[in-house]
């Protein structure tokens, strides 16, 4: 039991000393002005407009030939297009 109290006392003293040291500050220090840093990134390491992206165009006769009962069903075969059947104004 005494060992447990001793350990707690030592830990409390160490924590108290660390926080007291962290609170010491100099009021004479002048504020430092830093330059603005802008960080941008791309996981592929290239410019966004240099990347190849799939593009699908469906218009005119193609749209007429591939039509389904709703516009969502007609377009869902295109990459990046999906539809849902639940909720208001779905279709």
Domain that holds residue 74: 54-84
Domain-located, residue 47: no
More confident residue, 59 or 76: 76
Q: Provide the mean pLDDT of the chain.
A: 72
Please count the structural domains in the chain.
1
CA-to-CA dists, residue 26 to 15, 18, 85, 91, angstroms: 22, 17, 64, 66
Domain-located, residue 90: no
pLDDT of residue 31: 83
Query: What's the rounded mean pLDDT across residues 73-90?
Result: 76
66 has a pLDDT exceeding 60: yes
Cα gap 29→7, rounded to integer Å? 39
More confident residue, 40 or 76: 76
pLDDT of residue 57: 73
């Amino acid at each position: 039991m005494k060992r447990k109290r001793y350990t707690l006392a030592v830990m409390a003293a160490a924590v108290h000393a660390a926080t007291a040291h962290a609170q010491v500050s100099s009021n004479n220090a002048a504020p430092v002005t830093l330059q603005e840093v802008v960080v941008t990134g791309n996981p592929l390491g290239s410019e966004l407009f240099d990347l190849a992206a799939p593009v699908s165009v469906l218009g005119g006769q193609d749209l007429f030939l591939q039509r389904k009962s709703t516009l969502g069903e007609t377009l869902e075969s295109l990459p990046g297009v999906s539809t849902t059947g639940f909720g208001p104004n779905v279709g």
